[in-house]
Amino acid sequence: MKFIKFLLIWVSQNLTIPLWIVGHIHLSLSSYLVVENLFASLGMNLLVAIRLWLDWKKHIVHKIDHIHILTKMILENEKKINDSCSKVNRIIDEINQMKVYK
């Protein structure tokens, strides 16, 4: 399935401009009374439309938000630092409250 998707995208990417040019020249020179011409034109446009849809699906895939991840890590580290500082301050307060005998 992945190969068929890749093949569709590759063929349509390489043939988009030629298909549109041939299609427009064909539209101006041909009559659509022949069913084969109509289906050929619809097939070319369908191939380009599928490529457009697949490219759009690939484009809207969520990207990693590095700023959000880094902000979260910074906040977690700040919390750890604050917890450590509060522990050290408690220990210092306990030491200051102790009576020292000389």
Q: What is the H or E stretch that residue 73 is in?
A: helix 66-97
Q: Which region among 49-53, 75-79, 97-101 has the lowest average model confidence (pLDDT)?
A: 97-101
pLDDT of 85 strictly over 80: yes
What is the pLDDT at residue 74? 92
DSSP string, 23-63: HHHHHHH--TTSHHHHHHHHHHHHHHHHHHHHHHHHHTSPP
Average pLDDT, the chain: 78
The whole-model pTM stands at: 0.40
Each residue of 38-55: pLDDT tens digit? 777 778 778 778 877 887
pLDDT top residue among 26 and 35: 35
User: pLDDT band at residue 30, thresholds of 50, 70 and 90?
Assistant: low
Report whether 38 contacts 80 (CB < 8 A): no
Mean pLDDT of 11-34: 68
pLDDT reported for residue 7: 76
CA distance 11 to 84: 60
Q: Can you give the residue ranges of every domain in the chain?
A: 1-61, 65-102
